[in-house]
Amino acid sequence: MFAIRGQTCYIYALVPNSFHPVTVYVMRREILKKVRRVVVKIGSRVLTLENNGLDREFMKQLAAQIARLKGEGREVVIVSSGAVAAGRKELGIAGKPRTIPQKQAAAAIGQSRLMWAYEEAFSAHGHKVAQILLTGDDLSDRLRFLNARSTIETLLACGVIPIINENDTVVVDEIKFGDNDNLSALVTNLTEAGLLVILTDIDGFYDADPRTNSNAQLIPLVESITRKVEHAAGGSASTVGTGGMVTKLAAAKKAGRFGVPTMMVNGKSPEILERAMAGEEVGTRSTGGTASRSAGRMGLNSPGGSSHTPTPRWQSLSATKAAKSRQSSATSTGMRSSIEII
């Protein structure tokens, strides 16, 4: 089953072989055509080279794919890793930064390099990009959540591509998302997207680590993310990223709670984003839940909300953290997400 914001398409039958493969492809393609807004999460290992520099050629190819998707009338929101990886080389740091100050310093250097690379890649296709840096407090406080949503909606209405990252230069554990996989799932809710596509460095989710087990089998569809599935995902073997397949499955699970399906594909494969959106059998799909988290149901259009709606992100935090967030918002009325249009 493959659900897109309240629309359900059965692309795999409960009884094996009850759908012809061609029928499955056509149905998947038709339902993906209905997706107008997509969140694309790009991992550090996809964005960077072995020497820690940004892979400019990949970024150019990705920009070309996104430009063509926009030409089809789709809206694309990017959640991008890579700032810390891009900046650590300038600090002479080998491997992951060991301290928070090191990570923050690397991010401060890397963010400008990352955004310049995106600007260069997209300007070749006549598109502008905007940088949006978020912390956990931006999505846990209702007013700041709405401010961030309003900004993103305005950018999209103007044809600008939002590029979102965690604000690593100021983030601490109390307001940290944890990783950009988690952030991308939250952004699907923030933007009311219809699909989350995670670009990673392997072909999808396997029943074992394909880098160490030659018998590992790709799993094309994950309908339920159980503990057994999470155990099979293992950890992160990356020296440039903070997440592994476990965090990607967690993101898919969280996006599913928002009624958003997830696709995990190999970002280095040629034209992978377009192929995935065209309904080609690539990567791993995780089906979204049936619950809708539209602005109306979350009470975002009215101050009071509804007692029958799913619990919004900002109400799911502990009372202590929520109180601190409200106090911070009240004493810093000019505070907004860090945004820059390039």
Domain range annotation of the chain: 34-341
DSSP, res 218 = B
pLDDT at residue 286, as a whole number = 85
Exposure string over 253-262, b if 16+ CB within 10 A, otherwise e: bbbbebbbbb
Considering the segment(s) 34-341 as one domain, its CATH architecture is 3-Layer(aba) Sandwich (3.40)
The vertex-202 CA angle with 83 and 66, nearest 5°, equals 60
Distances (CA, A) of 63 to 59, 132, 180: 6, 18, 20
Give the residue from 107, 133, 109, 131 showing the smallest Cα distance to 118.
131
Residue 6 structure tokens: 């309240």
Q: What is the pLDDT of residue 25?
A: 53
| Whole-Å CA distances, 27 to 8, 11, 221, 224 | 10, 6, 15, 21
Whose tokens are 């935090």? That residue is: 317
Q: Are 54 and 86 in contact (CB under 8 A)?
A: yes
pLDDT score for 296: 35
C-beta of residue 135 within 8 angstroms of C-beta of residue 325: no
Cite the DSSP H helix spans in the chain: 21-33, 44-47, 56-71, 83-88, 100-123, 136-140, 142-157, 180-191, 227-233, 245-257, 272-277, 319-331
Walk along the chain (342 residues) and give the pLDDT tens digit of each residue.
444 444 444 444 333 444 444 444 555 677 788 899 999 999 888 998 877 689 999 999 999 999 999 999 999 999 998 888 888 878 888 777 888 888 889 889 999 999 999 999 999 999 999 999 998 888 888 999 999 999 999 999 999 999 999 888 887 665 467 788 999 999 999 999 999 999 998 888 888 777 778 888 888 888 777 677 766 666 444 434 444 778 888 888 899 889 899 999 999 999 999 999 998 889 998 875 444 444 433 333 333 333 233 344 444 443 334 334 434 443 433 333 444 444
pTM, 2 dp: 0.76
Predicted pLDDT of residue 233: 63
Task: Of 85, 19, 24, 92, give the one whose Cα is nearest residue 50.
Answer: 85
DSSP 3-state assignment of 217?
Answer: coil
Tracing tokens 């377009």 back to the chain, one arrives at: 274
Could you give the CA distance from residue 72 to residue 4 in angstroms, rounded to a whole number?
18
Instruction: Determine the Cα–Cα distance for residues 281 and 275; give it in Å rounded to an integer.
Output: 8
Q: What is the DSSP letter of 315?
A: G
Closest CA to 168 of 119, 122, 130, 112: 112
* Per-residue pLDDT at 173: 65
Q: Which residues, 6 or more positions from 89, have their beta carbon under 8 angstroms from its beta carbon? A: 51, 52, 53
What's residue 124's pLDDT? 96
Asked if 285 and 221 touch (Cβ cutoff 8 Å), the reply is yes
Helix (H, G, I), strand (E, B) or coil at 28: helix
